[in-house]
C-alpha cells in the first residue's frame, strides 16, 4: 500500500498502518504542493521562494540546500524515496503517495466532501512568507467554494446525500462565513432570524422591543461553541440522545445571524485540548455550552450550562430529567428550550458586556490575569495584578480589570496571612471602583462582599454577595464567595451546600473552592471529608494549617506535625494567636473548634 499524505488539518505522512512517518515539514509541504497542483516536479528556484524567505534569495537557497541534505539523509534511513532532486528541480520520487487533497474534486459528491473538509487545508502550518500564505488561502477558499456548490446543487436537485452530510457541510460553511444567508436557509429550512432579536422561546424574560432595538448588527458577532456532551457511565441510548440533541441545538442556533456557531467537528477537537482556555482565546470564542449526562436511578439527568468566557461566568444553567422511554419524545422540546435559553441569555449578556470587546489587547491582558489568579500562589497573584494593570493602561476604566485587581489584593492578603490591612484596603478601593464604573457587573459586589467578610461585617458581606448572585445567579465564583461568607458567619452547613453547588457549576474550579469546602467540612466535624477536599487542590500549601488541624482531630499527630513543618517553612514568622485573631468566625464555638485542632497539632 502507498503512504498517505494528510493535508487537511495536521500535515502528516502516514505509513500503511496509519502510523506517522517522521519527515521534515518543508519536505511534506513540497509533496503537498506538487499533489495539490497536479505536478510531478518544480524548479528549485520556485521552491526556495515559496517555502523560505522570499526577500533574501541567498538565504533561501542556503536553507533549501540544508533541507535537501536532511531529506536525503532521512530517505536513506527509511529506505524510501518520496522526493528526488537534480541541480535544477525537485520531483516526486518513485515511492507512491496518496493524498487527501487529491480527493477534493468536483465529482466527489457532497457526502465525500463533507467528510473530507471538516478541517482547514494545512490548518497548523505557519507560512513563512506572503506567497505561501496566499497559496494556502486560495486553496482553502477553493475548498469552501467547492463544498458550497455541492451543497446548493444537492439541495436544489433533491440529491441522495445524507442529512448528516448536508448539516455538516452547512455548519462548516457557516463557521467560515456566518453571513452566508443562502447556506443558512438550506440548513434551517427557514429564513434567518433578524439580528436584533435572537430569542426563540421564553426561557427567561423576553427582551422588549426597546431593548432589542439598541443591539445593532455586529461586525464580529460573538462566537459560540457547543461542546460534545460528557456521558460517563450513561447508557449508549442516552449518550446518542444527548449527541443528537447538541446537533439539533446547533442547527437551531444557526437561524440567528447575530451569533457565530463553531462547527461540531471543531467543537469536538476543542473538547480534547488540555488547555481549553488558551484554545477558546485562540479561536476568539465568547460563549461555551457544556452538557453532562448523569445516571439518576432508573433514568438520566442532562445538566446544561452556558459560560461567558470573558469572566468565566456561568450565565445560565438548567437540569432536564430524562426517562428512558421518553428520550426521543422529549428531544425536540429540550432542544427548543436550550436553544431559546442560549439565545436569550447571550442577547442579554451582550447588552452589558461590551467592555470585553472594545479593546482586544486590554481584553487579552485581562484574560491572562484571570488565568493566573486560578493558582493560590503569591507569584501568580502578583503576575495577575500586573496583567490587570496592563489592561487598564490600554483601556482606562475597564471594569473587569478593576475587579481583577480587587481580587488580587484580597488573595495576597489571604495567602500571606500577615493581616496586612493595607492589602484589604486596596481590595476594597478597587471593588468600589468596579461598581462605580459598571454596577451591572457582579464582580465588584463579590469582591466588596469578601472584603466586608474579613472586616467582620457579616451582614454587609452577605448583602453585597446576595446582590452579586442576583445579578448572575449561575456565576460559580460568586456562589463560592457567598459560600465562604456563610462558613465564616458560622453557618457551615448552608455554606457547604452552596460551595458544592458552585463546584457542580464549575467542575474544574480554582483551589479556593476546595479550600472553602474543606473549611466548611472541618467546622461540621467532617475531618476526612475536609482532607479529601484539600487533596483535590492543585497547590495545597495554603491549606496546610487546616490539614494539620484535621489530622490532629483524627488523632494522627505524626501527619499533623508534617503540615506544621510545611507551614513554618513557608511562613517562618507564623504566630497562632495572631492568626486566630484575624480569622473572621462570627461565633466563638467555631473559633474554639479550629483553635483546638491547631493546638492539638502542635502549633
| Dist. CA 189–CA 255, nearest whole Å | 9
Residues 6 or more apart whose CB falls under 8 angstroms from that of 140 comprise 120, 121
CB-CB neighbours of 46 under 10 Å:
13
Phi, psi (deg, nearest 5) at residue 191: -60, 155
Instruction: Output the pLDDT for position 471.
Output: 82
| Dist. CA 522–CA 319, nearest whole Å | 30
The grid coordinates of residue 338 equal: 436550550
Apex 246 CA angle, 243 and 252, nearest 5: 145
* Buried-state track 31-42, b at ≥16 Cβ within 10 A, e below 16: bbbbbbeeeeeb
Query: In 214-326, which residue ranges form alpha helices assigned H by DSSP?
Result: 236-253, 264-271, 276-282
The grid coordinates of residue 266 equal: 471543531
Q: Does residue 414 contact residue 484 with C-beta atoms inside 8 Å?
A: no
Instruction: Calculate Rg over the CA atoms of the chain.
Output: 29
| Dist. CA 131–CA 494, nearest whole Å | 63
Instruction: Output the pLDDT for position 197.
Output: 38
Residue with cell 454577595: 465
Low-confidence ranges of the chain (pLDDT < 50): 194-219
Supply the pTM of this predicted model: 0.55
- What digits encode the pLDDT tens for the residues 5-32? 999 988 999 988 888 999 999 999 999 9
Amino acid at each position: 500500500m502507498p503512504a498517505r499524505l494528510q493535508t487537511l488539518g495536521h500535515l502528516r505522512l502516514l505509513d500503511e498502518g496509519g502510523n506517522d512517518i517522521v519527515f521534515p515539514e518543508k519536505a511534506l509541504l513540497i509533496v503537498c504542493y506538487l499533489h495539490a497542483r497536479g505536478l510531478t516536479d518544480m524548479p528549485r528556484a520556485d521552491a526556495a521562494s515559496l517555502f523560505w524567505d522570499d526577500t533574501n534569495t541567498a538565504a533561501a537557497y542556503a536553507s533549501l540546500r540544508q533541507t535537501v541534505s536532511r531529506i536525503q539523509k532521512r530517505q536513506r534511513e527509511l529506505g524510501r524515496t518520496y522526493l528526488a532532486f537534480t541541480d535544477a528541480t525537485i520531483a516526486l520520487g518513485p515511492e507512491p503517495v496518496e493524498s487527501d487533497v487529491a480527493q477534493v474534486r468536483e465529482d466527489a459528491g457532497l457526502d465525500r466532501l463533507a467528510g473530507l473538509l471538516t478541517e482547514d487545508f494545512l490548518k497548523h502550518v505557519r507560512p513563512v512568507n506572503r506567497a505561501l500564505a496566499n497559496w494556502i488561502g486560495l486553496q482553502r477558499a477553493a475548498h469552501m467554494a467547492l463544498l458550497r456548490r455541492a451543497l446548493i446543487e444537492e439541495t436544489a436537485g433533491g440529491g441522495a446525500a445524507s442529512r448528516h452530510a448536508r448539516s455538516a457541510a452547512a455548519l462548516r460553511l457557516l463557521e467560515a462565513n456566518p453571513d452566508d444567508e443562502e447556506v443558512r436557509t438550506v440548513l434551517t429550512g427557514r429564513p434567518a432570524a433578524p439580528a436584533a432579536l435572537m430569542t426563540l422561546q421564553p426561557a427567561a424574560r423576553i427582551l422588549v422591543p426597546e431593548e432589542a432595538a439598541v443591539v445593532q448588527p455586529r461586525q464580529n458577532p460573538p462566537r459560540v461553541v457547543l461542546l460534545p456532551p460528557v456521558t460517563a457511565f450513561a447508557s449508549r441510548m442516552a449518550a446518542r440522545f444527548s449527541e443528537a440533541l447538541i446537533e439539533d441545538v446547533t442547527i437551531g442556533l444557526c437561524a440567528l445571524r447575530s451569533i457565530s456557531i463553531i462547527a461540531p467537528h471543531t467543537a469536538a477537537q476543542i473538547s480534547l485540548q488540555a488547555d481549553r482556555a488558551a484554545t477558546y482565546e485562540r479561536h476568539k470564542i465568547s460563549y461555551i455550552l457544556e452538557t453532562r449526562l448523569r445516571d439518576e436511578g432508573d433514568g438520566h439527568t442532562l445538566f446544561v450550562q452556558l459560560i461567558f468566557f470573558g469572566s468565566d461566568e456561568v450565565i445560565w444553567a438548567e437540569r432536564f430529567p430524562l426517562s428512558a422511554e421518553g428520550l426521543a419524545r422529549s428531544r425536540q422540546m429540550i432542544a427548543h428550550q436550550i436553544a431559546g435559553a442560549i439565545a436569550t441569555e447571550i442577547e442579554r449578556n451582550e447588552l452589558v458586556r461590551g467592555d470585553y470587546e472594545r479593546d482586544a489587547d486590554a481584553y487579552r491582558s485581562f484574560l491572562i490575569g484571570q488565568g493566573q489568579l486560578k493558582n493560590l500562589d503569591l507569584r501568580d497573584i502578583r503576575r495577575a495584578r500586573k496583567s490587570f494593570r496592563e489592561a487598564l493602561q490600554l483601556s482606562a476604566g475597564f471594569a473587569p480589570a478593576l475587579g481583577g485587581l480587587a481580587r488580587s489584593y484580597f488573595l495576597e492578603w489571604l495567602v500571606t496571612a500577615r493581616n496586612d490591612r493595607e492589602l484589604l484596603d486596596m481590595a476594597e478601593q478597587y471593588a468600589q471602583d468596579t461598581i462605580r464604573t459598571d454596577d451591572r457587573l457582579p464582580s465588584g459586589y463579590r469582591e466588596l462582599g469578601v472584603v466586608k467578610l474579613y472586616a467582620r461585617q457579616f451582614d454587609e458581606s452577605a448583602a453585597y454577595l446576595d446582590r452579586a448572585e442576583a445579578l448572575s445567579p449561575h456565576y460559580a465564583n460568586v456562589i463560592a464567595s457567598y459560600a465562604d461568607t456563610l462558613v465564616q458567619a458560622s453557618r457551615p452547613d448552608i455554606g457547604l451546600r452552596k460551595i458544592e453547588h458552585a463546584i457542580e457549576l464549575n467542575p474544574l474550579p480554582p483551589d479556593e473552592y476546595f479550600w472553602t469546602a474543606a473549611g466548611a467540612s472541618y467546622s461540621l466535624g467532617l475531618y476526612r471529608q475536609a482532607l479529601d477536599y484539600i487533596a483535590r487542590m492543585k497547590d495545597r500549601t495554603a491549606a496546610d494549617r487546616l490539614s494539620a488541624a484535621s489530622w490532629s482531630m483524627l488523632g494522627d499527630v505524626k501527619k499533623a506535625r508534617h503540615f506544621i513543618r510545611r507551614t513554618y517553612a513557608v511562613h517562618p514568622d507564623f504566630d497562632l494567636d495572631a492568626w486566630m485573631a484575624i480569622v473572621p468566625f462570627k461565633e466563638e464555638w467555631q473559633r474554639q473548634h479550629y483553635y483546638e485542632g491547631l493546638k492539638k497539632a502542635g502549633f
